[in-house]
């Protein structure tokens, strides 16, 4: 693989001195960055910070003399021009980046959590010090999305984003769909194959996707989105039965990170499972692939898809950011103005309770006469119109699973209806409530 990359990437010649790069982190992504940058002879990695000096590293040509277990050796090195932070998390990443900026270094990062939670402070500090923070790898791995929005799509008013931004959850949902298996069984398999962490909470509960859509919506809508205002719901309650029902109804179930901008400028930003029409591009994004669909004026609708993680796809974005900064060094006193943060106000966020959606419900009820009528009555009492209602099967215990698809309804009315269902003597349980793509 290393040989192929070095053959494919034509070295860039530079008569001047090499730009010095410091890496913080030499894991999967850091290793890919190291291997890829060797193909360019106008840059040089002069220092790398790692957590464990004794960890074996299968990286050909790695000079151990440039490795340190103290990341402050990197950010305080006066010769380094650009620091790539690839360790993730809030601390020590936040302080390391701030220290590096204070010491006159530009930053490239893949840290989606840091950007979502502390990005406003870091971008402001970078601007005060006339430094650039680039973060293409933080949103969708190898898919170029940040720079296109900042440059080619800069003339658009972007009003809608729907995206699959987490490969682990997409892999699990795809396997559940293909195999008809339970969430628990597929998660175990994904962990054994290395697609899911031992503690998968950050992925399966939607945190990872929420961090990414927070930054992406901030960028697209040109107003700051606060992570605490982003509605988040994971995939842990999705059942094999829901997958089967969705297929019968012409849908696929995906974990969708979405952001909508209303005509009056309010933002609806969220992450949750969604029934996506099989006619939609996102319905066919499977396994660990990611995709971002954008609607804007004048461009219309576009979708970018590709690998959302991995050594070389993510390294592609990191290296692209590094080279973008390198191309500006020594040529201007104010590098990459289009790539800088220009958000001066917070977005007005719509609470999930005030949103309007279509819903899929799976209801388990006693197989009595009038139960379907009772479901219809409860819906009517809560201002809910039904698009379809189907009794799917009767079990040995004389209970039936009933599938409901609603028309557009307010979230607060839907929640009230679910409570009424659960309080009704003939209804045993609402197994699932999943929003449906509109």
**Catalytic sites, residue numbers:** 212
Strand partners for 430: 363
Tokens of 275: 């029934």
Rg (CA), the chain: 24
8 Å CB contact between 47 and 65: no
Work out the end-to-end distance of the chain between its first and last CA atoms, rounded to an integer number of angstroms. 43
8 Å CB contact between 163 and 301: no
Tokens of 383: 């201002």
Residues 6+ apart with CB under 8 A from 23: 30, 33, 34, 45, 47, 48, 49, 74, 83, 84, 86
Burial class of residue 133, CB neighbours in 10 A (0-12, 13-18, 19+) = buried
Q: Give Cα separations from 214 to 102, 219, 240, 267, 347 (angstroms).
A: 26, 9, 30, 11, 11
Residues 6+ apart with CB under 8 A from 29: 86, 110, 137, 311, 314, 315, 318
């Amino acid at each position: 693989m290393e040989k192929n990359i070095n053959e494919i990437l034509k070295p860039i010649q530079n008569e001047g001195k090499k730009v010095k790069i410091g890496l913080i982190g030499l894991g999967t992504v850091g290793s890919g960055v190291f291997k890829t940058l060797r193909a360019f002879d106008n840059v040089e990695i002069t220092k790398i910070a790692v957590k464990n000096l004794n960890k074996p590293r299968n990286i050909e040509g790695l000079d151990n003399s440039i490795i340190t277990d103290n990341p402050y050796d990197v950010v305080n090195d006066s010769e380094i021009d650009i620091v790539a932070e690839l360790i993730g998390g809030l601390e020590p990443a936040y302080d390391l980046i701030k220290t590096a900026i204070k010491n006159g270094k530009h930053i490239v990062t893949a840290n989606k959590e840091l950007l979502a939670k502390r990005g406003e402070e870091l971008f402001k500090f970078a601007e005060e010090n006339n430094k650039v923070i680039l973060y293409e790898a933080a949103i969708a791995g190898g898919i170029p999305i940040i720079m296109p929005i900042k440059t080619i799509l800069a003339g658009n008013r972007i009003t809608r984003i729907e995206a699959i931004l987490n490969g682990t959850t997409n892999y699990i949902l795809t396997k559940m769909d293909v195999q008809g298996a339970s969430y628990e069984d597929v998660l175990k398999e994904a962990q054994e194959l290395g697609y899911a962490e031992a503690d998968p909470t950050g992925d399966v509960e939607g945190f990872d996707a929420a961090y990414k859509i927070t930054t992406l919506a901030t960028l697209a809508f040109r107003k700051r989105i606060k992570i605490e205002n982003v509605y988040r719901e994971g995939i842990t309650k999705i059942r094999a039965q829901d997958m089967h029902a969705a297929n019968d109804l012409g849908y696929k179930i995906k974990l969708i990170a979405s952001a909508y901008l209303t005509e009056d400028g309010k933002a609806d930003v969220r992450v949750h499972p969604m029934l996506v029409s099989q006619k939609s591009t996102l319905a066919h994004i499977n396994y660990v692939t990611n995709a971002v669909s954008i609607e804007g004026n004048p461009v219309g609708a576009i979708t970018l898809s590709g690998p959302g993680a991995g050594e070389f796809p993510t390294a592609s974005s990191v290296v692209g950011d590094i080279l973008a900064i390198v191309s500006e060094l020594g040529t201007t006193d104010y590098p990459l103005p289009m790539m800088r943060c220009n958000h001066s106000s917070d977005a007005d966020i719509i609470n999930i309770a005030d949103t309007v959606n279509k819903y899929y419900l799976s209801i388990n009820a006693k197989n009595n006469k009038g139960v379907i009528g009772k479901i219809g009555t409860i819906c009517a009492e809560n201002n809910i119109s039904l698009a379809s209602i189907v009794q799917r099967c009767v079990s040995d215990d004389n209970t039936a699973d009933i599938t409901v698809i609603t028309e557009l309804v307010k979230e607060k009315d839907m929640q009230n209806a679910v409570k009424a269902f659960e309080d009704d003597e003939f209804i045993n349980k609402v197994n699932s409530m999943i929003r449906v793509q509109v």
